[in-house]
Amino acid sequence: MVETKKGVRDANATKARILDAAKGEFARLGLGGARVDEIAEKAKANKRMIYHYFGNKEELFKVVLEEAYLDIRGAELSLELEHLAPDEALKTLVRFTWNYYLENPAFIRLVNSENLHQARHIAESDRLVDASRKFTDLVGGILKRGEKDGVFRKGIDPVQLNITIAAIGYYYLTNRFTGAILFEREFMSKEALQERLEFNLDTVMRLVVA
Amino acid sequence: MVETKKGVRDANATKARILDAAKGEFARLGLGGARVDEIAEKAKANKRMIYHYFGNKEELFKVVLEEAYLDIRGAELSLELEHLAPDEALKTLVRFTWNYYLENPAFIRLVNSENLHQARHIAESDRLVDASRKFTDLVGGILKRGEKDGVFRKGIDPVQLNITIAAIGYYYLTNRFTGAILFEREFMSKEALQERLEFNLDTVMRLVVA
DNA sequence: TTATTAAGTAACTAACTAGTGCGTTACTTG
DNA sequence: CAAGTAACGCACTAGTTAGTTACTTAATAA
Cβ-Cβ contacts under 8 Å for B183 (sequence gap 6 or more): A132, A136, A159, A162, A163
Answer yes or no: do B181 and A32 touch at CB < 8 A. no
Burial class (CB in 10 A: 0-12, 13-18, 19+), A140: middle
Q: Going by C-beta distance under 8 Å and a sequence separation of 6 or more, which residues neighbour residue A182?
A: B69, B122, B128, B129, B132
> A15, A84, A26: which is closest to A49 by C-alpha?
A15
The confidence score (pLDDT) of residue A7 equals: 52
Query: Which residue out of B108, B203, B205 would a mutagenesis test of the A interface target, given it has the greatest number of A Cβ atoms within 10 Å?
Result: B203
- Check whether A2 has a pLDDT greater than 50: no
| pLDDT of amino acid A3 | 42
Residue A206's H or E segment, with its range, is helix A190-208
A27/chain B closest Cα distance in angstroms: 9
Please count the residues of chain A: 210
Instruction: Name the CATH topology of B58-208.
Output: Tetracycline Repressor; domain 2 (1.10.357)
Render A134-185 in DSSP notation, one character per residue.
Answer: HHHHHHHHHHHHHHHHTSB-S---HHHHHHHHHHHHHHHHHTHHHHHHHTT-
pLDDT at B8: 66
User: What's the mean pLDDT in A170-194?
Assistant: 97
- Mean pLDDT is lowest, of A188-192, B36-40, B165-169, B195-199, for B36-40
> Which pLDDT tens digit goes with each residue over A68-87?
999 999 999 999 999 999 99
Q: List chain B residues with CB under 8 Å of A122.
A: 178, 181-182
pLDDT in tens, B58-74: 999 999 999 999 999 99
Do residue B170 and residue A172 have CB atoms under 8 angstroms apart? no
d(CA B129, CA B135): 10
CB A98 within 8 A of CB A41: no
CA distance B24 to B29: 9
Residue A152, strand partner residues: A209
Closest Cα partner for A26 from B181, B172, B116? B116
The rounded percent of chain A whose pLDDT value lies above 70 is: 96
Domain boundaries, chain B: 1-55, 58-208
Kindly give the residue spans of alpha helices, DSSP state H, lying in B44-125: 47-54, 57-77, 86-103, 105-116
The predicted pLDDT at position B6 comes to 42
If one looks up domain A1-55 in CATH, what number appears? 1.10.10.60
The b/e string for A40-68 (b: 16+ C-beta within 10 A; e otherwise) is bebbebebebbeebbeebeebbbbbbbeb
Average pLDDT, chain A: 92
Q: Residue A181: its pLDDT value, please?
A: 96
Q: For A88-113, what is the mean pLDDT?
A: 97
Q: Which residue has the higher pLDDT, B53 or A11?
A: B53
pLDDT surpassing 60 at residue A1 = no
Backbone angles phi, psi at A152, to 5 degrees: -110, 145
B13 Rama sector, left if φ>0, alpha if ψ -120 to 50, beta otherwise: alpha
Q: Dump pLDDT digits (tens) for B8-58.
A: 677 888 899 999 999 999 999 999 889 999 999 999 988 999 999 999 999
Best residue in A121, A122, A183 to probe B by mutation, most B CBs within 10 Å? A183
Q: Round and report the angstrom distance from CA (B10) to C1' (D11).
A: 24
Residues B82-131 have pLDDT tens digits of 999 999 999 999 999 999 999 999 999 999 999 999 999 999 899 999 99
| Confidence at B3, pLDDT banded by 50, 70, 90 | very low
Quickly name the fold that domain A64-208 has.
Tetracycline Repressor; domain 2 (1.10.357)
Task: Give the confidence band of A12 by pLDDT, cuts at 50, 70, 90.
Answer: confident
Q: How far is the CA of A133 from the C1' of C16 (A)?
A: 42
Work out the average pLDDT over B124-150.
95
Q: CA B8, C1' C26: Å apart?
A: 9
